[in-house]
Amino acid sequence: MINAFKKMLNKWFRNIFRKKKHVKIGLYGPPNGGKTTLANRICEDWLGESMGSVSSVAHETREIQIKEEVHIKSKGKELTFNLVDTPGIATRIDYEDFLKAGMKEKEAKKRAKEATKGVIDAIKWLDDMDVVIVVLDSTVDPYTQVNITIIGNLEARKIPVLVVANKIDLKKSNLKKIQAAFPQYNVVGISAKYGNNMEDFYEALFEVAG
Amino acid sequence: MLTLQFIPYREIEYLDSQKRIKKLLKIVKENKIVLLEGRLHKTEEAELIKRTMQEIDSNFKGIEISVVYPDTKEGAFIKRIKESVINILLGDRRGMTIIGPAAIIKEIKHDPDKIQLLTEDGLKEMSRRRRKKK
């Protein structure tokens, strides 16, 4: 009964989005999950250009980035949206972590400060999203409070969610663990870096937002 | 030495969200680990992260937080309705929230029913054991 009610609500939400001019799809998640890599993959697939720079050092994306009018097609369905890439949400930011990654003190402190502002902005932007793709690193334990808080807030705001388990190309990847952590959501395993399983990803995106 | 401070839910029950967060962060910034009976509202958890970010400086590196919460998803429909009504009337007192300063708590490992707080020494010990295994 609850599932039927949820489906009805989702359909109702989707109908609202169809009437809206610019659907905003946000990429959320902890740092280094691959949000910008996925944003780049989507933009390269459909616009032929990338969106932002990526790095193995956390908090590379420290400002909200928007790519407007992304138009995607899959199996006869079409969807146009504004893609919003957000800074990774964290509960701790220590400039010394950036020092360990080889940065100079001044640069590390600046990055830390910008990263804290980025987290605040990402949380503020939650209210503006129509659909959110939560991007998780499938090689990392998903039972973190940041993940639970992000998804809990999306639930509280009734924003449709697609969970992406990224980095499935890596040996340590554990898709089942992510699925077990968030059983109420459709979890799609992809490698944004190599473009693995992107067909399934777009299919799932249409399900949630199309 | 680690100091754990227990906060019964009644201490935050009548505070608004901003005051709740301020109270919890104040204790954490005194380098104490908060054991809060129950949990904050989901939007308050996000607000707590936001406020934490605003307060980060050279001395305060942030927080580690974890919530142990009984899973009611599989429960009977009537039981879930009952619990929702109790939550609305009395606040969400079930489970426990742990909040610690990032300078002391390096990581919180969270399985659905178990929580492990890893301090700097704990992490060193874990990596020592891993090296020994190899």
Contacts of B61 in chain A (CB under 8 A): 92-94
State pLDDT tens for residues A147-169. Answer: 999 999 999 999 999 999 999 99
- Structure tokens that stand for A188 in this block: 């799609």
So what's the ipTM on this one?
A: 0.82
Counted domains in chain B: 1
Mean pLDDT of A95-117: 91
Question: Domain A19-209 is of which CATH architecture?
Answer: 3-Layer(aba) Sandwich (3.40)
Q: Give the domain ranges of chain A.
A: 19-209
Contacts of B62 in chain A (CB under 8 A): 90-94
Contact B54 A116 (CB under 8 A): yes
B115 touches A: beta carbon within 8 Å: no
- Structure tokens that stand for B81 in this block: 């309705």
Rounded CA separation B3/A19 (Å): 54
Q: How far is CA A129 from CA A62, A82, A152, B9, B21, in A?
A: 18, 10, 15, 32, 25
Interface of B with A in 68-97 (CB under 8 A): 73, 77
- Structure tokens that stand for A153 in this block: 């807030």
Q: Quote the radius of gyration of chain B (alpha carbons, Å).
A: 17
Closest Cβ opposite residue A149 in set B45, B62, B112? B45
Contacts of A124 in chain B (CB under 8 A): 50
Residue B71's pLDDT is 63
State pLDDT tens for residues B107-133. Answer: 888 766 677 888 876 666 666 776 676
pLDDT band at residue A202 using 50, 70 and 90 as cut-offs: very high
Contacts with B59 (C-beta within 8 Å, 6 or more apart), sequence order: none
Mean residue pLDDT of chain A comes to: 89
Contact B42 A120 (CB under 8 A): no
Substitution target from B51, B53, B69, B114 for chain A, most A beta carbons within 10 A: B53
Residue range of the domain that includes B101: 4-133
The DSSP result for A32-101, as a single string, is TSSHHHHHHHHHHHHTSS--S---SSS----S-EEEEEEEEEETTEEEEEEEEE-PPP-SB--HHHHHHT
State pLDDT tens for residues B66-82. Answer: 988 776 555 566 666 66
Chain Cα centroid distance, residue A82: 13
Phi, psi (rounded to 5 degrees) for B131: -65, -40
State pLDDT tens for residues A48-78. Answer: 988 877 777 778 888 899 999 999 988 888 8
